[in-house]
Chains A and B, each alone.
Chain A
Amino acid sequence: MARFRNNKKKGFVKPVVKKQPGVDHVTGEKIPHSIVFSRGKIPSSLKQLQMDLRKLMLPFTAVNLKEKRRNNLKDFLNVAGPLGVTHFLILSKTETAPYLKVARTPQGPTLTFKIHEYSLAVDVAQSQLRPRCPQDLFKNSPLIVLSGFGSGEQHLKLTTVMFQNIFPAIDVNTVKLSSCQRIVLLNYNKDTKFIDFRHYSIRLQPVGVSKRVRKFVQNHQVPDLKNLQDVSDFITKAGYGSESEVDDEAATVTLTSDLGRINKASSKSAVKLQEIGPRMTLQLIKIEEGLCSGGVIFNAYGNEAEKKKEVKEEEDKINEEDADEDADED
């Protein structure tokens, strides 16, 4: 005999509160949110890259996102709506290379990049003598710098727009400089058509102060004076100046407000960047109209239609030349 379900035993259903999650409560602007996940089986190094990318996308991303094998794109899309997720970063791998897809939800477009080379944040940190990771490094979203994209081609323009909107916009009038801790650089190389993807941390240092004094102020530690004759030597005896300070002229800024303990307002500060990784060399392969579907707007290997067109044009050209030659001959 089948048992009847007790209707009274219905669990408490939380009423859905209509809230706009992707809106900044101060300025009312829409904040882009993103999730990074992978499709298919990916090796451990790519999993690490995925984690690095999630960290890079902080704070408006799901760091501890757990995906299952049976999750398909639709699942993510269904979640994206209520959570206000605007961008998908999808990692995948084939036998030829790993791929990164950057997509806007819910309608697209989707940019597919081939990852030619990549280094993890760990590798980058290992390559450095003193890797730097302040506590609040990942508390604010990074700035994004796109360079070399301005050649006027459609697909590059679209890429620019896509990446600009992946991070929240900065209001010049209200932004706090202390919140600018990281920077993501995308540099397009015209010759190779590769995009260099880099992630740096920003550090400001006062200019015109000897290293010793700077370190002293910074660290608040008792300096080692045993080799000095007098206390004044500590300041007057300049250490060997680093050669990097010479070409720092271009990299100095004047601050409007104090930044930390050592960078005072209206004093010159040098901008120092240190890589935190991950590092990628991307190649734009394809742009699709929809979310991983739809018509192909751009294809690096050439569209079928375009190819035909090109061939036709070439033929026309040849024909024209022939005609010209014929005319000359006459």
Chain B
Amino acid sequence: MAEESQKLETVNLSKKRRLGRKKGNKTKKKLKGFDGSGERIKIDRRMKKLFRKRARDYNSDNDEDEGDDGGYAVATKGENAVPIRKEVALDGKDSSEEEEDHQDIDEENEISEDEEGEIQPGITKLTEGCRAFRLAFKKIIKKNVSDVSLGPVLSGHKKLVAEKLAEEEAEQKVKGDVKKEKHLLEEKGHVKPANFLDSHEKFLIGVATKGVVKLFNAVNKAQNAQKGLNASRFKDEKAIIKRRKEAFFSELGRTTLSSAGAPAKAHTSSGPVDGEGPAWAPLRDSYMLTSSKLKDWDKMPDSVAEDEIERIPLDSSDDD
């Protein structure tokens, strides 16, 4: 404690001296505010408070009464040097007890130098810090460390680090599993198609092709009938309607025959087709009675003549 008080004295002394040099014979109390005025920095009250608090915190462990002094309110160069030096000294104490004596001697030397006032405090600090650092470093170097994969620096926490790494890995694994599971769930049902056409796909394409061919042929047939006639001309329009009507009735007759003749086709058409009943559904007695539950009865295809496989509404019935 004696040493510290001495130090404090030196600090105050040095400050006093410097301030004295700068500002002549003004009192210390007044100077407090102007402490940093050498650099022309404006310090507002809040900042000042903050600085003061910081300084107090900093010094709280070794000297409490210094905070009240207010010397640390604004960090000037000279004051800055002191805490740093102290820190280094503390470090030195931590690393080795034997060095304490050295330290004390050093400090005393420094103080004496300080008191002489010729040597800047920053330089002394550097040399002193160097020494402490050297000692600490030497001690570290002296330790011989066995070669481990984790490296010499982490050697102290070798076990801990290994444990932590393992834990992390496990965690990662669990996370990955969860993610994978989630992804699998998301992609459920998603299938990438094969590069080649398998038999099923070929069959489907065949079915679709059949449908397209049927439609195109029907279109061909229907549009061949009205070839050369212009629909916008009144005379032609009449002719077109007439032809359509004929085509429609012929279609009706044909399906009646075909449904009776070919049972294979009858099964594609909707509903059980009786041999004696008319082929066109609305003409049958049971029309709409069987499908009373269907809501969209008005959307039902109005003719059975139209093949189930394909959708070609014969709108000739609408034209009439």
Contact = CB atoms under 8 A, between A and B. Distances in A.
Contact of A143 (B215, B223, B227): B215
B95 interface: no
A278 B317 CA distance: 36
B187 A43 contact: yes
A117 B309 contact: no
28 contacts: A45-B186, A45-B187, A95-B185, A104-B295, A108-B295, A116-B189, A119-B190, A123-B192, A127-B194, A127-B195, A147-B207, A150-B309, A152-B270, A158-B294, A162-B296, A169-B311, A172-B218, A173-B226, A173-B240, A175-B219, A185-B208, A196-B200, A202-B212, A251-B209, A253-B217, A254-B220, A256-B219, A256-B224
Contacts of A108: 295
The interface size bin for chain B is 35 or more
B244 interface: yes
A196 B313 contact: no
A265 B184 CA distance: 52
Given A43-B186, A119-B193, A147 B295 contact: no
Given A146-B309, A255-B220, 17 more contacts: A45-B190, A96-B188, A98-B189, A118-B190, A126-B192, A143-B212, A145-B207, A147-B211, A150-B269, A152-B271, A154-B291, A160-B270, A164-B301, A180-B215, A198-B208, A273-B205, A273-B209
Interface string B241-283: 0001000000000000000000000011111100000000000
B210 interface: yes
The interface size bin for chain A is 35 or more
Interface of A: 43-45, 95-98, 104, 107-109, 115-120, 123-124, 126-128, 143-147, 149-152, 154, 157-158, 160-162, 164-165, 169-175, 177, 180, 183, 185, 187, 196, 198, 200, 202, 250-257, 271, 273, 275, 279, 289, 297
Contact of B300 (A95, A161, A173, A255): A161
Contacts of B296: 104, 109, 158, 161-162, 165
A107 B295 contact: yes
B222 interface: yes
B189 to A, nearest CB: 6
B80 to A, nearest CB: 58
Contacts of B192: 119, 123, 126-127
Interface string B163-199: 0000000000000000000000111111111110000
B205 A253 contact: no
A10 B211 CA distance: 58
A271 B188 contact: no
B136 interface: no
Contacts of B200: 196
A118 to B, nearest CB: 6
A153 B169 CA distance: 58
B204 A150 contact: no
A108 B294 CA distance: 10
Interface string B284-308: 0000000101111001110000001
A273 B201 CA distance: 11
- Give the most central of B189, B201, B295, B310: most A CB within 10 Å: B189
B94 to A, nearest CB: 57
Q: Lowest 4 A-B CB distances belong to which pairs?
A: A145-B211, A43-B186, A253-B216, A150-B308
Contacts of A152: 270-272
A164 B311 CA distance: 7
B269 to A, nearest CB: 7
Contacts of A275: 201, 205
B295 A183 contact: no
B154 interface: no
B308 A271 contact: no
B98 to A, nearest CB: 68
B126 interface: no
B294 to A, nearest CB: 6
B239 interface: no
Contacts of B271: 152
B254 to A, nearest CB: 15
Contacts of B213: 250-253, 271
Contacts of A126: 192
B193 A124 contact: yes
Nearest to B218: A172
A183 B220 contact: no
Contacts of A120: 190
Contact of B270 (A147, A157, A198): A157
B315 interface: yes
Nearest to B195: A127
Contacts of B201: 275
B19 interface: no
Contact of B189 (A117, A177, A253): A117
A143 B219 contact: no
B31 interface: no
Contacts of B75: none
Contact of B193 (A143, A202, A252, A279): A279
B135 interface: no
